Amino acid sequence: MNKITKNNLITYGIVIFAYIVFEILMLTGNLSSHLKGLLVPMTYYAVIAVALNLCVGILGELSIGHCGFMCLGAFSSAFFSKATENVLPTVPRFIIAFIIGIGVAALFGFLIGIPVLRLKGDYLAIVTLAFGEIIKNVINSFYIGIDSKGLHMNMKSAMDLNMEADGNVIVNGAMGITGTPHNANFTIGIVVLLISLFIVQNLINSRDGRAIMAIRDNYIAAEATGINVTGYKMMAFTISAAIAGAAGVLFSHNITTLTASSQYFGYNASIMILVYVVLGGIGNIRGSVIAACILYMLPELLRGLNTYRMLIYSIILIVMMIVNWSPKIIAWREKKFGKSGMFGLIGRIIFRRNKEVA
């Protein structure tokens, strides 16, 4: 019990330490404006990596459509913020936007979970991929406007909305939502990350979390032990979708033009998040935060190397994979540096396997 609490505190500590370092760098002017712009994305990718790890590592179901939930959170909250921009003050509006983004993503997570969680393994992965794409493409075809008469909506074009003169097109089809207020910042991103970590890590060490992991390890035995397998699968998937929705709220409130494009919400983006989770260690929540931050920042920091950038990035991915997963390397690491040395300590903090706590 004590050890688990300590491990959780280390995770929060790492996040807060990184926050302080970046804040100091920013205040002393050591951070270029390009890097400053990467800080918020770093936090929401860490958040969605935590969400996906809950689904892949704790529940044990491979989902590659998680960007779909992020997309839902982003659009629903941006729609709300844009529609009430002149009505509500910033703070309550942003809080309600969070509630809406999380709520919509959770609702769709629940609805999609009903058919999807009947499947297993590869089939489940393929269907989540399909749902992710469906969400993106459906959102792309909506036109929604608001005027004195209320909401107008169709799936043809902005002209067909037939609005009054004071009308305002909010969602403009594939052009998305433009001009969402920039309410998200690094501090809020870190707070959202800490809350997600708090919820997921607490969940793992609770009655429900144990039931979820029992299903992952052996669902036949879980059923025979009286665990409601379907119910707990739905619960984990819905919570995971809700956290992905929170990442989406951060996303949409940090970008000028929000479009449901493949670049941000397509399956490539979902795979990228899966890479964070796998390289951070499946089931290792702390690892996925660290991997998300490093692997998001890396290609941006390597920009100076131009064409060699992706080459180096992929080599780093391979090296990380080997260092993190190869049994021989793990044994060598422990032999060479011990479990108590400096490297061993860092190694244990970074490469800690879920198994040691779970």
Binding stretches for another protein (CB under 8 A): 1, 3, 198-199, 202-203, 205-211, 213-214, 216-218, 220-229, 235, 239, 283, 354-355, 358
Residue 85 or 208 having the CB closest to another protein: 208
Residue 36 or 118 having the CB closest to another protein: 118
Residue 202 or 257 having the CB closest to another protein: 202
Nearest CA-CA partner of 163 in 140, 138, 143: 143
Residue 303 or 355 having the CB closest to another protein: 355
Residue whose pair of structure tokens reads 């459906």 in the numeric block: 138
Could you tell me the smallest distance in angstroms from the CB atom of residue 118 to another protein? 15
Residue whose pair of structure tokens reads 């920013």 in the numeric block: 26
Nearest CA-CA partner of 234 in 202, 267, 212, 253: 212
Residue 25 or 330 having the CB closest to another protein: 330
Residue 78 or 227 having the CB closest to another protein: 227
Residue 147 or 208 having the CB closest to another protein: 208
Rounded to an integer, what distance in angstroms lies between the CA atom of residue 97 and that of residue 77? 5
Residue 113 or 176 having the CB closest to another protein: 113
Neighbouring C-beta atoms of residue 221, cutoff 10 Å:
11
Could you tell me the smallest distance in angstroms from the CB atom of residue 135 to another protein? 26
Could you tell me the smallest distance in angstroms from the CB atom of residue 99 to another protein? 15
Cα atoms in the Cβ-side hemisphere of radius 13 Å centred on 264:
24
Give every CB contact of residue 203 below 8 A, 6+ residues apart in sequence. Answer: 54, 58, 209, 212, 239
Could you tell me the smallest distance in angstroms from the CB atom of residue 333 to another protein? 20
Cα atoms in the Cβ-side hemisphere of radius 13 Å centred on 185:
6
Torsion sign over Cα 8, 10, 14, 20: positive
Could you tell me the smallest distance in angstroms from the CB atom of residue 60 to another protein? 10
Rounded to an integer, what distance in angstroms lies between the CA atom of residue 185 and that of residue 245? 17
Burial of 247 (0-12, 13-18, 19+ CB in 10 A): buried
DSSP 89: -
Could you tell me the smallest distance in angstroms from the CB atom of residue 44 to another protein? 21
SS3 206: coil
Could you tell me the smallest distance in angstroms from the CB atom of residue 18 to another protein? 24
Rounded to an integer, what distance in angstroms lies between the CA atom of residue 179 and that of residue 257? 6
Could you tell me the smallest distance in angstroms from the CB atom of residue 3 to another protein? 8
Residue whose pair of structure tokens reads 């179901």 in the numeric block: 61
Rounded to an integer, what distance in angstroms lies between the CA atom of residue 74 and that of residue 51? 15
Residue 192 or 255 having the CB closest to another protein: 192
Could you tell me the smallest distance in angstroms from the CB atom of residue 92 to another protein? 23
Q: What kind and span of H or E run contains 236?
A: helix 229-252
